[in-house]
């Protein structure tokens, strides 16, 4: 009875295939997670346009028709869910600054609403009333006019 052991090259080849498959799965998972996040929030880097006397930000709606956008509150990164309807109960506060693309608002009245689910910050009328906004064909255009 003769027992044979696999050649060292075959073991290394098999190990390389396993590593390649694991790496491929890891890359596919990362790609899919990134794609899914982009579908949920298509405005991770909002596009801004600056003209004579105005700054505009154009936002695309996500697959559910909601407008989510990445921005800043007091210099800290947040994800906004824009909402122009409804009332809420909460605690009043003021934000030193709120930024969405190149639109910058200062001293914004805000409401901390306990019980909201998710990580998004609801961007409501206390901020939006300082802007002109129009919605058409799945796009929301925000315009901040500046005085010269």
The residue ranges of the chain whose pLDDT is under 70 are 1-9, 32-33, 35-36, 38-39, 84, 86-88, 147-148
Written as six digits, the tokens of 42 are 């298509």
Helix-, strand-, coil-residue percentages of the chain, each rounded to 5 = 25, 40, 35
Please tell me what DSSP assigns to residue 120.
Answer: P
From CA 48, how far away is CA 143, in angstroms rounded? 10
In terms of Cα–Cα distance, which of 108, 103, 96 is closest to 69? Answer: 103
Judging by DSSP bridges, how do beta strands 121-123 and 76-82 pair with one another?
Answer: parallel
- 122, 97, 95, 103: which is closest to 58 by C-alpha? 103
Q: Which of 45, 94, 58, 90 is nearest to 74 (CA)?
A: 94
For residue 52, the model assigns a pLDDT of 93
Query: How confident is the model over 65-94, as pLDDT tens digits?
Result: 889 999 999 999 999 988 767 666 788 899
pLDDT of residue 103: 95
So what's the pLDDT on residue 75?
95
CA distance 20 to 138: 41
Q: How far is CA 5 from the centre of its chain?
A: 55
Q: What is the four-CA torsion angle of 45, 51, 53, 55, rounded to 10 degrees?
A: -10
pLDDT of residue 37: 72
């Amino acid at each position: 009875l003769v027992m044979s052991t696999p050649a060292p090259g075959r073991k290394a080849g098999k190990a390389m295939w396993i590593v390649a498959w694991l790496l491929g799965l890891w890359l596919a998972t990362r790609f899919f997670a990134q794609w899914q996040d982009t579908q949920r929030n298509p405005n991770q880097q909002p596009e801004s346009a600056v003209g004579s006397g105005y700054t505009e930000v154009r936002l695309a709606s996500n697959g559910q028709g909601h407008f989510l956008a990445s921005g800043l509150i007091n210099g800290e990164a947040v994800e906004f869910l824009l909402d122009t309807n409804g009332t809420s109960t909460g605690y009043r506060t003021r934000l030193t600054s709120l930024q969405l693309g190149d639109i910058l608002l200062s001293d914004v009245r805000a409401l901390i609403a306990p019980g909201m689910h998710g990580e998004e910050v609801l961007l409501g009328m206390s901020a939006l009333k300082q802007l002109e906004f129009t919605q058409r064909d799945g796009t929301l255009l925000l315009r901040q006019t500046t005085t010269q």
